[in-house]
Amino acid sequence: MTSLPFLPLVVPLLIGISLLLIQSLGLKHQRFVSLMGAVALVWISIESLFVSLTGEPQVFILGNWAAPFGIVLVLDQLSAMMVLITSLLAMSAIWYAISQKIDNKGAHFHTLFHIQLFGLNGAFLTGDVFNLFVFFEVLLLASYGLILHGGGRLRTKAGLHYVVINLIGSTLFLFAVGALYGILGTLNIADMAVKIAELPVEDYGIVSAAGLLLLLVFGLKAAMFPLYLWLPQAYANAPAPVAALFAIMTKVGLYAIIRVHGTLFGSTAGDLAYFYMPWLLILGLITLLLAALGVLAARGLREQIAYLVLTSVATLLIGIGLNSPAALSASLYYLIHSTLIAGGFFLLADMIAQGRGIYDDRFESSKPIFKGILLGSFFIFAAIAMTGLPPLSGFFGKFLILAAALEHDWFAIIMATMLISSLFMIIAVAKSGSQLFYQTQIHQKPEGNLFSKKAFLAVVLLLGISPVLVILANPISAFTDSTTLQLLDKIQYIDTVLNTLPIERVQP
């Protein structure tokens, strides 16, 4: 089973390439292959998750060169969890794109989508900082194509900002990686952690500067204050299935913080241990407040959901910044919830916007929409889950994080910020819900697009995960607890990565 970490990478890559090859056969065949690829990816991810549960991280040595000289892929519980979330999101998004025929509004939608999955899974599985950079570039380049899919002025403008800011981010990433390489002489995450543990004191300055520069880059991806301004417009203007997939993009940044900073500057790092944590906490609190104000100020539903995504990122930053095992475990639970629900919410928002016709998703009185009651009920459901009201999974996630915050020195500030911002979010979402569904021009006939049952399936699938997360809260939090234990056990990670030997060549 040692080849398993390889599969989530190679399957989307091959599907993406083969989609190009069968382009001449027409969109119908491409759709079939694309969907089958996404389903296969879900299956592989579930399989990987079960393998990762057996304990030790699975290490795959590319080209049979042992770490730290070769490049490794590492599959542990966190990676497996992220890959599974990505594949679930991707399957629903592709299903939605096919049933709403969004994929024929421009060329190569499915190819770009699978290359993006390749980049995402690569970022989650790599054990090497430079490869993390390369996979970031792969997923970004695919996302540039996807965000512009279908065209339109607003999309081009938001896309231009998105591309420029991410290119600057890439440059900073290279500066940070270069500085770390210059001091540590290695790029393998496990090996870097070993080198940092025995770092002479005079090198602390440059290594911590490089570490903070990396935090800046990951913070840019995760949309942390003050680097979040690109996110709302980019997400609000992206095509719905792309926006749904982008719900995982901010989490890539968070994952990279947990993985890279957690390993490099973890408990083994001496005086540098956890030096970045106060930054995460403070910036997370500021992001949360500003994002909650953004939710209040949003002019359209998609923009509002983009800000809601931002609040979930901020909550996660706070959860990670609390720097306790309980908080990290709670954050992972909240991460599963917020990613999938945000994805489902983006798809739902698109269905509502389609139903409203020319009024799109703007908060103003419109003609009634087809199946308004059904869509409205799902809107309430998604809003409850997203803002963190009981009884859905958002409440559990926030509750767990707040419970973990009780032991922190600043618990009063954290409590106040999180609860006040939640109140803002609830007010804003309640207002937008009543504007979208109650203040309709009641005597008019609906004139938007017809309700599509097929497309709605994707929304139901993603939002349906929220009750599942509640019902299975115990096993899932047991899983996040064991993931946290694995994450905090640096020695096991480092030993497994560095001691995995190449396979002996069979002598003829």
Partner 1 sequence: MELLVALSIGALTASGVFLTLRARTFPVVLGLTLLAYAVNLFLFAMGRLTIGLPPIIDPAQGQYADPLPQALVLTAIVIAFGMTAFLIVLALKARAELGNDHVDGLNLAKDEASLDHTLPPRKPQKQAGKTI
Residues lying near partner 1 in the complex (CB under 8 A) are found at 130, 134, 137, 141, 144, 148, 151-154, 156-157, 159-161, 163-164, 167-168, 170-171, 174-175, 177-179, 181-182, 187, 299-300, 358-359, 362, 364, 366
Which CB sits closer to partner 1, 175 or 451? 175
Cα 418 to Cα 406: distance, rounded to the nearest angstrom: 13
Q: How many CB atoms lie within 10 A of CB 411?
A: 14
Q: Are 302 and 361 in contact (CB under 8 A)?
A: yes
Which CB sits closer to partner 1, 133 or 334? 133
For residue 41, give the nearest of 132, 103, 107, 125 by alpha carbon: 125
Nearest approach in angstroms of CB 356 to partner 1 is: 10
Which CB sits closer to partner 1, 299 or 454? 299
Radius of gyration, alpha carbons of the chain: 22
Q: Are 360 and 440 in contact (CB under 8 A)?
A: no
Sign of the alpha-carbon dihedral angle for 302, 307, 310, 315: negative
Nearest approach in angstroms of CB 149 to partner 1 is: 13
Sign of the alpha-carbon dihedral angle for 398, 403, 408, 409: positive
What tokens appear for 474 in the block? 């115990």
Nearest approach in angstroms of CB 137 to partner 1 is: 5
Which CB sits closer to partner 1, 178 or 502? 178
Cα 383 to Cα 386: distance, rounded to the nearest angstrom: 5
Which CB sits closer to partner 1, 174 or 471? 174
Q: Specify the DSSP element, H or E, that contains 74.
A: strand 72-75
Nearest approach in angstroms of CB 360 to partner 1 is: 8
Cα 460 to Cα 465: distance, rounded to the nearest angstrom: 9
Nearest approach in angstroms of CB 339 to partner 1 is: 27
Which CB sits closer to partner 1, 355 or 397? 355
Which CB sits closer to partner 1, 152 or 467? 152
SS3 77: helix
Which CB sits closer to partner 1, 163 or 289? 163
Nearest approach in angstroms of CB 84 to partner 1 is: 28
Nearest approach in angstroms of CB 107 to partner 1 is: 14
Q: What are phi and psi of 125, to 5 degrees?
A: -105, -15
SS3 341: helix
What are the C-alpha distances in Å from 7 to residues 40, 42, 74, 400? 10, 11, 12, 34
Nearest approach in angstroms of CB 216 to partner 1 is: 14
What tokens appear for 251 in the block? 């989490």
Nearest approach in angstroms of CB 217 to partner 1 is: 12
Which CB sits closer to partner 1, 76 or 303? 303
The single-letter DSSP state of residue 464 is T
What tokens appear for 339 in the block? 């990613």
Which CB sits closer to partner 1, 89 or 180? 180
Which CB sits closer to partner 1, 101 or 157? 157
Query: What type of residue is 503?
Result: I
SS3 408: coil
Nearest approach in angstroms of CB 229 to partner 1 is: 11
User: Would you call 164 exposed, middle or buried from its count of C-beta atoms within 10 A (0-12, 13-18, 19+)?
Assistant: exposed
Nearest approach in angstroms of CB 363 to partner 1 is: 10
Q: What are phi and psi of 476, to 5 degrees?
A: -70, -40
Q: Beta strand pairing status for 58-61 and 72-75?
A: antiparallel
Sign of the alpha-carbon dihedral angle for 373, 379, 384, 387: negative
Sign of the alpha-carbon dihedral angle for 46, 50, 53, 59: negative
Nearest approach in angstroms of CB 264 to partner 1 is: 17
Which CB sits closer to partner 1, 168 or 406? 168
Sign of the alpha-carbon dihedral angle for 276, 137, 162, 174: positive
Residues paired with 73 in a beta bridge: 60, 126
Nearest approach in angstroms of CB 188 to partner 1 is: 12
Cα 451 to Cα 446: distance, rounded to the nearest angstrom: 11
The single-letter DSSP state of residue 468 is H
